[in-house]
């Protein structure tokens, strides 16, 4: 599993380097270590089949001359930069309504988890993104906007598998935000989310 996650991150990083931003390269495009931690923290929570489906999306897109990382950030601009988004919209894939409905259901569930995490771990949450788009400043990307943009870049089958994964988390009462942030905390050298939160309160 770890091998395939590494392959995903490697391909994401390659595609990320090809994204041309309006104001030039962003700082995160020159920080592979941070990129690796952010993406690894997320993908470690995924089932193997979901990771395999998304990796296939990345490779198939590349074969067709598409860049899923570009598409992800372009979709985010619907919230963060609507004027620029309208310029990019004609080159973006048209997402079927059924897929958009799946995505909105996923976003609603995950934002509830993000809210719960923020309430329980306010210090740790304060160094992340605002939860909702309505809470974000101009040109700031919320967790809601980021997640929606990422899901819109996935293939239809990957979205279906991701929704099944989220439903399984609900059944098992797993807060996915907590799981991702726990992975992240450990990669920064903390043994638990609780210890990181405690350290930030001193």
| pLDDT tens digits, one per residue of 95-134 | 999 999 999 999 999 999 999 999 999 999 998 898 988 8
What's the confidence (pLDDT) of residue 24? 63
Contact 151, 158 (CB under 8 A): no
- Rounded mean pLDDT, 133-155: 92
Contact 51, 121 (CB under 8 A): no
Predicted confidence band at 17 (pLDDT cuts at 50, 70, 90)?
A: very high
Nearest to 140 by CA among 200, 83, 80, 97: 80
- pLDDT tens digit sequence for 20-67: 876 667 778 889 999 999 999 999 999 999 999 999 999 999 999 999
What's the confidence (pLDDT) of residue 202? 65
What's the confidence (pLDDT) of residue 161? 98
Contact 75, 92 (CB under 8 A): yes
Instruction: Write out the DSSP string of the chain.
Output: -HHHHHHHHHHHHHHHTT---TTS--GGGG-HHHHHHHHHHHHTTS-HHHHHHHHHHHHHHHHTT--HHHHHHHHHHHHH-HHHHHHHGGGSPPPPHHHHHHHHHHHHHHHHHHHHHHHH-HHHHTTS--SSGGGSPTTPPPHHHHHHHHHHHS-HHHHHHHHHHHHHHHHTT--HHHHHHHHHHHHTT-S-HHHHHHHHT-
| pTM for this predicted structure | 0.93
């Amino acid at each position: 599993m770890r091998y395939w996650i590494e392959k995903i991150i490697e391909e994401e990083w390659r595609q990320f380097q090809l994204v041309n931003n309006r104001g030039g390269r962003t700082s995160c495009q020159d920080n592979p270590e941070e990129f690796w931690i952010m993406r690894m923290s997320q993908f470690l929570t995924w089932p193997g089949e979901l990771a395999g489906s998304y990796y296939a999306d990345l490779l198939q897109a590349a074969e067709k001359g598409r860049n899923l990382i570009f598409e992800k950030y372009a979709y985010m601009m619907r919230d963060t930069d609507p004027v620029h988004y309208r310029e990019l919209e004609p080159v973006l894939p048209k997402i079927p309504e059924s897929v958009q409905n799946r995505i909105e259901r996923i976003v609603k569930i995950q934002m509830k988890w993000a809210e719960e995490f923020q309430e329980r771990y306010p210090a740790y949450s304060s160094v992340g993104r605002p939860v909702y788009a309505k809470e974000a400043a101009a040109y700031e990307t919320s967790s809601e906007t980021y997640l929606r943009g990422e899901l819109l870049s996935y293939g239809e089958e990957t979205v279906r598998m991701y929704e099944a994964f989220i439903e399984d988390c609900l059944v098992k009462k797993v807060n996915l935000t907590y799981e991702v942030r726990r992975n992240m905390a450990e990669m920064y050298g903390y043994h638990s989310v609780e210890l990181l939160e405690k350290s930030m309160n001193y």
